[in-house]
Amino acid sequence: MTTSTHEQIKLILQETSCNGCEGMNRKFVCVHIEAIAELPSRFGDFHIVAFSNNQDGKEHVAIIKGEVFGADDVPVRLHSECLTGDVIGSLRCDCRDQLEAALKKIGEMDKGIVLYLRQEGRGIGLTNKIRAYSLQDKGLDTVEANIALGFRDDERDYAVAAHMLHALQVQSIRLMTNNPKKIAQLEQYGVKINERMPHILPPNEHNIFYLETKAAKSGHMIDFHGKEHLPEQSDQPIIEGMDESQVKAMHD
């Protein structure tokens, strides 16, 4: 299956055009499309686009459904990599649930993009995330653990993500997020956001416990061993069936 998006991106590859690369000064974010291929998946037929950039040296990708090139109102989900959750199915977080729900939802739409950002462990990397887990096993909370390791609570940055959307010449988006703050962060980098689509997860045996914990009391999730979970995605999960006060508590 070759879509016109595919053809257009191939043209971009030939032109080796960059987004924002004047001078290659690290002060300016420079993002470059490196490769594109079809990606049939259990969630639908996608294309995958690999990017390089001059900021973090990481291999971020866009998972694309349908014709997004030059399009308006493209549904977009930003997902930060979580090896333990996404790949291994760790129950210390709900990253995999959030990723699968996004892919499934966009897979059923006529167009959309999941940006899979390689900012593991809220930007501190895999090894440091496991160090933070270890500190949490000893009783520190997530914020204390990160600070004990010399990091801020959240080291993520969305400048590269914004430039990936620019490189795909996406004109405007509908951002799938439960986090209104994320909109301001992306808009600051020039992304036009026409709508926020709440990212609501279907209940399943792994995330149902969010409903059972005191979501209404605080956004913090305590597991059955009394350990706090690391909210690695910047969105607090909203699960189908939560009442309004529980959802509101997520934003407080």
Footprint on this chain of Zn ion (rule: CB under 5 A): 82, 85, 93, 95, 232
| Least distance to Zn ion, CB of residue 81, Å | 9
Nearer residue to Zn ion within complex by CB, 93 or 168: 93
Q: Which two tokens stand for residue 184?
A: 């301001």
Ramachandran angles phi, psi of 77, nearest 5°: -125, 130
Closest CA to 74 of 59, 62, 86: 62
| Least distance to Zn ion, CB of residue 84, Å | 6
Bridge partner list, 110:
none
Closest CA to 81 of 106, 51, 117: 117
| Least distance to Zn ion, CB of residue 230, Å | 7
Which active-site residues does the annotation give?
154, 156
Bridge partner list, 193:
173
Nearer residue to Zn ion within complex by CB, 36 or 221: 221
Nearer residue to Zn ion within complex by CB, 13 or 149: 149
What is the distance between the alpha carbons of residues 160 and 72, in angstroms, rounded to a whole number? 20
